[in-house]
A and B are shown apart, each in its own frame.
Chain A
Amino acid sequence: MRLHKSGLMLIAAIVTGFAISRFEHLINPYYYQVLIYIGINIILASSLNLINGFAGQFSLGHAGFMAVGAYTSAVVTSQLHFASSSMLNTAAFSLALLLGGIVAAIFGLLVGIPSLRLKGDYLAITTLGFGEIIRVIVQNLDFLGGARGFTGIPKLTNFVWVFSTVAIVILLVSNLINSTYGKSFLAVRDDELAAETIGISSTRVKVIAFVTGAFFAGVAGALYAHFVTYINPAQFSFLKSFEIVVMVIIGGMGSIFGVILSAILLTILPEMLRSVAQYRMVVYSLLLIVIMITRPRGLFVRTRTAKQSVALKTLR
């Protein structure tokens, strides 16, 4: 049933992407930009959901992985000369996205390893620090432009790229979680010790989650870099990590579709609040507080039956 849904999603997303890309020049550039950001945020939130929501490892370093992907891909495309042939462009950009993802995944591995020893708040703080370290390092690397930023990145990101990636991420995550294999992730999240006693290596699960999650954050960063064409370290501060975490929490940790919806909502919301200018962040924060009070398990999570809630309570 869910497989069916995710398969349809993939096709729908790619078709929509292609269809819209035909009319790219007709779309109001502002809406176009918001749509691209929605896509990128869905990728970020869904990949973080794998780490936070499914494997249960509270990570606050997602912007760091995004930065790694953004800078890696920018370096790649700046080294390549773009021919007029669109085929060649496609190949070069694919390579840049892939490398952005792979290098971010390597960083994911590096963060995944301390996560094996740390839990809860400690892990959150460590990953937060890790993200900041990446930012500070970039800030001090001259060949990446330092604090001034990296300019002149070719504008290669478009609808098709973004929404194909969105579709792939959603499909992969949902396939994983709905497979017997993927139940090991949920088991580690639910009760690490009990998971170990049925032969699940929590080490393996955590590392896979971090590496895969970081890979897609890297790809999202690469897509972002090739859309805005100018990146600087400040764009990838812990505030960005928080933003992604909030999307996952509001959507409902471990809810694939909830997180997609909340990524959409939380991208549009700040845009709509532009009219109230200086109160924008106040209204935004208030809304988050209200949502958390009224729907603590996430905005889009089906409320459990009374019986299940009681069972959950007695467990705590």
Chain B
Amino acid sequence: MDLLTLRSCTMRFGGLTAIADLSIGLAAGDLLGLIGPNGAGKTTIFNMITGIYRPSSGQVLFDGHSIVGLKPNQIADRGIARTFQNIRLFPSMTVYETVQAAYSKGVKYGLIHAVSRCGPFHTSEEETDRAIAELLEYFELETVRNEIAISLPYGQQRKVELLRALATKPKLLLLDEPAAGMNPSEKVALMGLIERVRSDFRVSILLIDHDMRVVMGICKRLVVLDYGVKIAEGSPREIQCDSKVIEAYLGEPTE
């Protein structure tokens, strides 16, 4: 059974149909690439999955259960985490605090313990601290742990956002153009990191990029979207030769 299934999903904004009758399946452990030209509807799919938009019609199943109509935080609780195309970090927080925020749901104590600092408070905080330190090391961010996250260089901000999503211990990670704004060598490094994250954290990934060369290397399967319609699906090799895909990308500026 698939971990995530979109069944005939349609998303309309007034007269505009951003997503039309789209079906996608993602098996546990997969790293699926979602590509398509600007405005194809990629981000809209993420917003439907994460409960920010409610599909006009169709079903979204996660782990076999419908998640349509749930609030974003409930969907996050089920095990879906995401990053944003235009990075959304918490502007007042340091890198460490940002990851802490992701842990704030998972602590083993409540409000009363937090304000009185008794009961399981200290053991839980120490546990969280160790876990965060490990994550920061994995992402090579320990040197900037006390920097305000949004003051970091762009590439590191993307990493912090990825780390924040991962810290919620998701089953499925949705990454919206994580390589945007990076130079080619940074992109290669990031793709390597994403692949490592997938196996080390045993998380399934749905990865958006509009530049298909970026994702070719790590995704075994790609879905190509154009004007809200799935125009192709298959291995990178199949996609590259697909006439519809070539047509959709014709005239696309190369970066």
> With the chains together, A88 CA to B26 CA distance in Å?
68
Task: Flag if A194 contacts B84 (CB, 8 Å).
Answer: yes
> With the chains together, A202 CA to B101 CA distance in Å?
13
B52 within 8 A of A: yes
Count A/B pairs, Cβ under 8 Å: 118
Docked complex: A156-202 residues within 8 A CB-CB of B? 171-172, 175-176, 179-184, 186-187, 189-191, 193-202
> With the chains together, A208 CA to B168 CA distance in Å?
22
Q: Which of A181, A187, A194, A308 contacts B109 (CB 8 A)?
A: A181
| Residues of A contacting B: mostly | helix
Docked complex: A197-217 residues within 8 A CB-CB of B? 197-202, 208
B142 within 8 A of A: no
Decide: A196 near B71, CB < 8 A? Known: A181-B107, A311-B150. yes
Docked complex: A205-233 residues within 8 A CB-CB of B? 208
**Contact residues in A for B167 (Cβ distance below 8 Å):** 198
B21 within 8 A of A: no
**Contact residues in B for A184 (Cβ distance below 8 Å):** 101, 104-105
Decide: A176 near B114, CB < 8 A? Known: A184-B101, A198-B102, A311-B148. yes
Least Cβ–Cβ distance between A138 and chain B, in angstroms: 30
Task: Flag if A183 contacts B82 (CB, 8 Å).
Answer: no
B164 within 8 A of A: yes
Docked complex: B75-94 residues within 8 A CB-CB of A? 76-77, 81-82, 84, 88-93
Decide: A199 near B50, CB < 8 A? Known: A184-B104, A190-B91. no
Q: From B115-123, B183-191, B200-208, B225-233, give the one contacting chain A.
A: B115-123
B161 closest partner in A (C-beta): A194
Decide: A186 near B168, CB < 8 A? Known: A181-B110, A199-B73, A200-B73. no
**Contact residues in A for B109 (Cβ distance below 8 Å):** 181
Task: Flag if B89 contacts A196 (CB, 8 Å).
Answer: no
> With the chains together, A309 CA to B70 CA distance in Å?
37
Residues of A within 8 A of B (CB): 3, 171-172, 175-176, 179-184, 186-187, 189-191, 193-202, 208, 254, 304-305, 307-308, 310-312, 315
Residues of B within 8 A of A (CB): 50, 52, 71-73, 76-77, 81-82, 84, 88-93, 97, 100-105, 107, 109-111, 113-117, 121, 124-125, 128, 148, 150-151, 164-165, 167-168
A-B contact pairs, 24 of them (CB 8 A): A179-B107, A179-B125, A180-B104, A180-B125, A181-B109, A181-B111, A181-B113, A183-B97, A183-B103, A186-B101, A190-B92, A190-B93, A193-B52, A196-B71, A197-B73, A198-B76, A198-B102, A198-B167, A199-B76, A199-B168, A200-B105, A307-B151, A311-B91, A311-B148
